[in-house]
Structure 1
Amino acid sequence: MNRFATRFAYMSAALILAACRTGPETATDSSTDTSTTGDGDGDGDTGDGDTGDGDGDGDTGDGDGDTGDGDGDTGDGDGDGDGDPFPPLAGYWAFNGDSTEGSGTNIDLMPIGDPEYLASVSPGLGTALTLDGDDAAVGADFVKLSGDDVTIVAWAYAESLEGIWNTIVKNWGPGTSGQFHIGLGEADEDMFQSVLNNNEWATAEDPFPSGEWVHTAVVLDAMAGEHRLYINGALVTTVAYAAPLDVGESTGLGVGAKPNDDGTGVAEQAEVGFWNGGIDEVGMYNAALTPEQISTIYQNGLDGIQLDGSSE
């Protein structure tokens, strides 16, 4: 073989060997995994999407980066931020310009006296029921809370703590007992308190803050056997709870005052328990919300997210 032919053979072999060893410039299998779900705030997490290094050495990228599509599920106010939804509302009064019930599961309330609907905790919550100590919102045929577990939440602003039995929300009449009183007490008139039909009382240790919006929550947890009070998302009191919550005979519901037995007006007695200040976002659940869910509701309110997930 002459020198030219030998060189040509060597060059051909080298080209064939190089073609066999050369890999694709980028990964060919970099399919996108299921996007990481957003954490409730719509900011879907973006994966790192490692691709091949394209250096022709045959190492292809693993293509396993989880590429978020940026459309993480938007929190709608009805979950705890971890994908666990809140239970359905058993009663919801947002007080956005009126006292109608918002969940479709309970009663509308009628104004007593001359309440106003003024600014709430944050603009997204719209307006709040604003009371000056001689007005309220009441309604008849309250749909009672059922089952062993219950949660009641509300925002409240106390302009003054004067008086006794000052009412945030109450199903209790002057002549018949109901399911609950939530507000301030009698002997402990400056303390946040929850009183149940079966004569179970839970009372906070510190006076109720005045001159500021405060988030309140009462949780009846049958499994834990606990009657819990929360202020601004933090647990403040726990006492024993023996389920179930008795239904009681009173059919009226009052926000800002004690209703009469059937809820057609306020109670006709010396101490009606008028609230002086504001009340907003009253919500009820036939379930024992977790501490995390209570904290989420509190933070949502500060962020302008209502119990139904909307904002004004």
Structure 2
Amino acid sequence: MTRMKHLCSALALSATALTTSHAALAAYWNFEEGSGTTTTDSVSNTASDPFEPGVAFSANTAAPTSTSSTSFDGTGRFGVNLNADAVGISGTGAKTIVAWINTTESDKRYFWGWSPTNGLQPGQDLRFGIELDGKLRFEISSGFVRYDDLSLNDGNWHMVAAIINAGDTAGDIDFYIDGDIVTPTGGNTTLVNTAGTGTGDSATPNEMFFGSSGNTNTQYWNGGIDDFAIYDTALTDAQLDDIRLNGITVPEPSSAALLGLGGISLILRRRK
């Protein structure tokens, strides 16, 4: 009986750890398709809209486990029509946005954006990219932050992240760049509250964009994007280091099933 109790306790702890890990990874595009004109979120299994001209897969990669990435020539983008709540970017809760990027551009270019209200509501529209000679910038409607001490437009791959704790304002956001958490400048006291829903037009309800434009349609991303992920928690330095060194793993549904009641029942039957 004691051995069985320990076995059930271990299974319960393993199931909890797996569930927590799966919940933390809210959305993930690894761009491993390598061909075609769409890409799929590995968490929700949702396919993107077709790539616009100027967007394609590339064998130029950076992420540790990657064999393919997406390449943008500055003229196109593509959208993903996922509800923001489902991918952990809605509301005032914690979130972390992670990506590998490369570019040689110097002006404002965003590799990702979520803009359901086209900037009309403070704190609801997000854009992540570079500006001012390749300085990393995260924009929120009515505020932004930028890290001025490092240029990323050298044509090399860089792993970057925006770390947002629950209740953060624009000025509270931290960046992770190639192994270090840094404090950007700028911002204001606008609460990050991405609870908006789309109004149609060019930004369909709750649609995210890769290669999102800046202030004009001439500011599409020009460069590469690899292993883009959204977490519904504020990741730590150690967790981001692990992603940078070892890549991102999506828990297998079959493993979760084995740790469920069915798996425990099977083990109990075998021990009789």
TM-score (norm 2): 0.66
* Correspondent of 2:235 among 289, 298, 306: 289
2:39 is the counterpart of 1:93: no
Q: How many residues align?
A: 212
Partner of 1:72: none
Instruction: Write the mapping of 1:1-312 to structure 2, written as runs, cut at 5 A.
Output: 85=21, 87-97=23-33, 98-104=38-44, 108-119=48-59, 120-121=61-62, 124-144=65-85, 145-146=89-90, 147-158=92-103, 160-164=104-108, 166-172=109-115, 175-177=118-120, 178-185=124-131, 188=132, 190-197=134-141, 199-205=142-148, 206-222=150-166, 226-238=172-184, 244-250=192-198, 251-258=206-213, 270-300=216-246, 305-308=247-250
Residues 154-178 of structure 1: per-residue CA shift (max 9 Å, x gap) = 00011x21442x1111012684554
RMSD over aligned CA atoms reads 3.2
Identity %: 19
Q: CA deviation at 1:109?
A: 3.9
Structure 2: stretches of 5+ with no match in the other structure:
1-5, 7-16, 199-205, 253-272
1:110-167 deviations in whole A, cap 9, x for unaligned? 3111422112115721200011121222233443413521100000011x21442x11
State the alpha-carbon separation in 1 of the partners of residues 47 and 140 from structure 2: 21
Distance 1:223 1:293, change over 3 A: farther
Query: Alignment partner of 2:147: what SS?
Result: strand
How big is the shift at 1:100?
Answer: 1.3
Select the structure with the greater relative contact order (CA < 8 A; seq sep ≥ 6): 2
User: TM-score under structure 1 normalisation?
Assistant: 0.58
Q: Which has the larger radius of gyration?
A: 1
Checking the alignment, whether the CA contact within 8 Å between 1:194 and 1:201 is kept in structure 2 is yes
Residues 161-205 of structure 1 show CA distances to partners (whole Å, capped at 9, x for unaligned) of: 1442x11110126845543110013xx3521111123x3322111
Once residues 73 and 154 of structure 2 are traced to their aligned partners in structure 1, the CA distance between those partners, rounded to angstroms, is: 14
Shift of 1:247: 2.3
Contact 2:128/2:138 (8 A) holds in 1: yes
* Residue segments in structure 1 that go unaligned for 5+ positions in a row: 1-33, 35-77, 259-266
For residues 220-261 of structure 1, give each alpha carbon's deviation from its aligned partner in whole angstroms, at most 9, with x where no partner exists.
013787310111121122568775523234432111123xxx
Q: CA deviation at 1:99?
A: 1.4
Q: Which has the higher helix share?
A: 2
